[in-house]
């Protein structure tokens, strides 16, 4: 028993020492980082054509025998030789046109692929802004931007900003396609409807064109325990309903009125971008699976994002563009715990929203 007590004290002292060292190191790193002007992050670009080619070649080497591989290599060399000759011929023709002054701007179509994984606060807005800004420095109306959206919605103003970021692409007359593999509901659909084309998997969840707000009220509990809650405002509707005060009929009516107005704005937004949709029929807050969504014009085609991109591998150069945030050690340590909690809460919320369909 004495041994266990001594071991416990030793373990406690060691743990305390380790924690103290960890805190000191964190403070030192934080102090050093405070004086530096660090970059927010950087853009990463990878060519998906090369990835698909490498995957195909790896599979071929695993499946085909030696004779078949030699035959494939022979055909590939022949194809590359023909392609090189065609490129050389095209270059000569372009040069001749330039000399005559009637050259046209011809280039192979480029497809820029972006990802947006949305939480309640649409935290990916910053990354979306950076990637779109980068793509717009190079993309032309002859190219295409594909955004893979996955979101069950969240705060109105956050998703309104995300939608505005996507609108920067269409405002430049660059074709925009949104692919939905799992869910684009509420704010997620607000983003998707900006696109020239919406492609969704057969069982992806779409729609939820509605507005919801809910909050607990502890007024009766406080009153029961003789606890007063006072709030001072200037302006009749500076606060309508609260968590701790006594909510009035007038306050509730004003709150509902604001929700209804937000819903009207949402419906107008969808109608503006997808006039083919019967907004009265779909703006009920309901959701549709991909197959049903196509029937009511919420989407344009049934395809997964993988299928949509693979269909263009032979005719376009496909680039995946990602903005990677650069964080200091203290930020990583602090944000890790916060993200874990937020993800857990969002997971619970998301499951509560989706469980009734499964």
Contact 186, 208 (CB under 8 A): yes
Residue burial 112-147, b: 16+ Cβ < 10 Å; e: rest: bbbbbebbbebebbebbbbbbebbeeebeeebbbbb
Phi, psi of 212 (to 5 degrees): -135, 145
Distances (CA, A) of 337 to 14, 16, 233, 342: 23, 20, 35, 9
Q: Which residue of the set 151, 186, 208, 305 is catalytic?
A: 186
Q: Which residue of the set 36, 37, 224, 238 is catalytic?
A: 238
Assign 145 to helix, strand or coil. strand
Note if 186 is an active site residue: yes
- Rounded to the nearest 10 degrees, what angle do helices 48-63 and 66-100 cross at? 160
Note if 88 is an active site residue: no
Report the DSSP pairing between strands 205-207 and 287-289.
antiparallel
Residues carrying an active site annotation: 186, 238
């Amino acid at each position: 028993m004495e041994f266990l007590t001594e071991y416990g004290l030793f373990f406690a002292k060691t743990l305390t020492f380790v924690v103290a060292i960890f805190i000191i190191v964190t403070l030192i790193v934080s102090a050093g980082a405070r004086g530096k002007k660090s970059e927010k992050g950087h853009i990463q670009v990878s060519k998906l054509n090369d990835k698909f080619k490498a995957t195909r070649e790896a599979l071929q080497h695993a499946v085909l025998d030696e004779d078949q591989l030699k035959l494939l290599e022979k055909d590939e060399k022949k194809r590359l030789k023909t392609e090189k000759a065609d490129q050389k011929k095209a270059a000569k023709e372009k040069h001749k046109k330039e000399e005559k002054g009637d050259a046209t701007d011809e280039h192979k179509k480029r497809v820029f692929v972006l990802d947006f994984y949305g939480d309640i606060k649409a935290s990916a807005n910053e990354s979306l802004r950076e990637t779109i800004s980068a793509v717009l420095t190079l993309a032309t109306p002859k190219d295409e931007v594909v955004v893979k959206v996955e979101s069950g919605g969240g705060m109105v103003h956050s998703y309104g900003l995300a939608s505005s970021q996507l609108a920067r692409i269409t405002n430049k007359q660059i074709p925009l396609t949104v692919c939905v593999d799992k869910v684009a509901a509420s704010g997620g659909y607000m983003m998707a409807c900006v696109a020239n084309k919406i492609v969704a998997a057969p069982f992806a969840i779409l729609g939820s064109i509605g507005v919801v707000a809910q909050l607990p009220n502890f007024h009766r509990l406080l009153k029961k325990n003789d606890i007063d809650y006072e709030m001072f405002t200037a302006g009749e509707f500076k606060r309508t309903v609260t968590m701790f005060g006594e909510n009035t009929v007038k306050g509730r009516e004003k709150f509902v009125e604001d929700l209804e107005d937000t819903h009207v704005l949402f419906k107008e937004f969808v109608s503006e971008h997808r006039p083919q949709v019967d907004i009265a029929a779909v703006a009920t807050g309901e959701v549709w699976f991909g197959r049903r969504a196509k029937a009511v014009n919420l989407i344009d085609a049934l395809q997964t994002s993988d299928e949509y991109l693979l269909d263009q591998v032979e005719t376009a150069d496909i680039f995946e563009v990602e903005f990677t945030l650069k964080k200091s050690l203290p930020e990583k340590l602090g944000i890790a715990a916060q993200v874990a909690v937020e993800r857990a809460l969002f997971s619970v919320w998301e499951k509560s929203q989706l469980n009734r369909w499964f």
